Amino acid sequence: MAEGPTPSRADPAAAVPRVELLAGLPDITVSRHVCHAGPRDRPFPEQHRQASLSFVLTGSFCYRCRDRTHALVAGSVLLGEVDEAFVCSHEHGVGDVCLSLALSESLLAAAASAHAAPGRLFAAPALAPRPRISALARALAAATDSRDPTRAPEVEALALALTAAVLEELALQTGSPRAPRASASASDRERAVAGARYIAARAAEPLLLGDVAEHVGLSPFHFLRLFRAVFGVTPHQYLVQTRVERAAARLCESEVPVTEVAFEVGFGDLSNFVRTFHRLVGLSPGRWRRQHQIRKIRQV
């Protein structure tokens, strides 16, 4: 698995990884890397061109970095810093598919600061599979596979949550100290409330976390941590809840088709709207509307 632009192969017979861009946001890039190399392909030295986190979706390979070889399987995480040398080999099987997440230098620096990562950016070059990280990675893969531009806020939220989860796990595995969490101050609460009001006012728009964080004068990672500390949910969860609440009210008040309601409140995909509505409300949008109409008839 090679991260970033595909380098030339030292062995002409080696399979060249295919890199597919899935999402490109202002500070976040998500791509899929498909490699068909196997035991007969000679490994060669490579170099990370940018800091990135890569999640093994299928297959397996060995990743040699910082004088140590790591065996990576589905669920493992490959971490690379800018200009860091590495070698990938497939002596135990053929091929792999990875989801690669690259963040801007400023965003990664803010993430590392928010999670008190000491020294270098990544304390270790690889992580063993962890259920929460794997679940977030697969959710991110699913969100980007839809190619729906209105899901950009969801892609951004998942990417940031995934990065935070990886940094937290690194801190746990390497014994890195973490800053104690202090209770929110009055100014913190004021910023969190301002962010919530901003989200509510623009809930139907493809709103990015970076837009809200900039509005309150914080980095995305600091705002994410602050918002969750004050309200107990992430900004994206609050955005989705706001959309669903408005959809529920709209379904009760009108005979507008469910599809139109979904688009009206900010969802760009009907199946995603129905799935999310059912998860939060406990009923499908159609059944919710029918039950409400029954109540109105009984009241009359």
Tell me, what's the pLDDT at 182?
52
Neighbouring-strand partners of residue 18: 34
Q: Which residue in 124, 31, 136, 20 sits closest to 78, CA to CA?
A: 124
Asked whether residue 179 is assigned to any structural domain, the reply reads no
Burial group, residue 245, by CB count within 10 angstroms (0-12, 13-18, 19+): middle
Contact 273, 257 (CB under 8 A): no
Q: In the 8-state DSSP scheme, what is residue 225?
A: H
Tokens (6 digits) for 141? 């893969």
Considering the domain architecture, whether residues 233 and 207 belong to the same structural domain is answered as yes
At which of 174, 197, 216 does a domain end?
A: 174
Asked whether residue 125 is assigned to any structural domain, the reply reads yes
- Per DSSP, the three-state class of 269 is coil
At which of 174, 202, 233 does a domain end?
A: 174
Tell me, what's the pLDDT at 295?
47
CATH number of 137's domain: 2.60.120.10
Considering the domain architecture, whether residues 115 and 226 belong to the same structural domain is answered as no
Asked whether residue 7 is assigned to any structural domain, the reply reads no
Per-residue pLDDT of the chain (300 residues; tens, 9 = 90+): 545 433 434 444 445 678 999 999 988 999 999 999 988 888 889 899 989 999 999 888 889 999 888 888 888 899 999 999 999 988 888 889 999 999 988 888 888 776 544 567 888 899 888 878 888 888 898 888 766 777 888 899 889 989 988 998 888 877 655 544 555 677 888 888 889 989 999 999 988 999 999 999 999 988 998 888 888 788 998 899 889 988 988 888 888 999 999 999 999 889 999 999 998 888 899 998 888 764 444 444
115 φ, ψ (degrees, to nearest 5): -110, 15
Considering the domain architecture, whether residues 287 and 168 belong to the same structural domain is answered as no
68 φ, ψ (degrees, to nearest 5): -145, 145
Considering the domain architecture, whether residues 141 and 25 belong to the same structural domain is answered as yes
Considering the domain architecture, whether residues 145 and 203 belong to the same structural domain is answered as no
Q: How many domains does the chain have?
A: 2
At which of 174, 198, 220 does a domain end?
A: 174
Tell me, what's the pLDDT at 11?
47
Considering the domain architecture, whether residues 164 and 207 belong to the same structural domain is answered as no
277-280 long-range CB contacts below 8 Å, 24 or more apart? 277/244, 277/247, 277/248, 280/240, 280/241, 280/244
Tell me, what's the pLDDT at 274?
94
Considering the domain architecture, whether residues 105 and 228 belong to the same structural domain is answered as no
Asked whether residue 9 is assigned to any structural domain, the reply reads no
Considering the domain architecture, whether residues 76 and 161 belong to the same structural domain is answered as yes
Tell me, what's the pLDDT at 293?
66
Asked whether residue 110 is assigned to any structural domain, the reply reads yes
Q: What share of the chain is helix, strand, coil (3-state, %, to 5)?
A: 45, 20, 35
Asked whether residue 2 is assigned to any structural domain, the reply reads no
Asked whether residue 8 is assigned to any structural domain, the reply reads no
Place of tokens 């100290």: 177
What is the rounded distance in angstroms from the CA atom of residue 178 to the CA atom of residue 139? 27
Tell me, what's the pLDDT at 15?
55
**Domain span including residue 100:** 18-174
Considering the domain architecture, whether residues 59 and 200 belong to the same structural domain is answered as no
Buried-state track 169-198, b at ≥16 Cβ within 10 A, e below 16: bbbeeeebeeeeeeebeeebeebbeebbeb
Considering the domain architecture, whether residues 77 and 155 belong to the same structural domain is answered as yes
Considering the domain architecture, whether residues 284 and 162 belong to the same structural domain is answered as no
Contact 242, 216 (CB under 8 A): no
Asked whether residue 220 is assigned to any structural domain, the reply reads yes
Considering the domain architecture, whether residues 200 and 237 belong to the same structural domain is answered as yes
If residue 166 lies in a helix (H) or strand (E), which one and from where to where?
helix 152-174
CATH number of 289's domain: 1.10.10.60
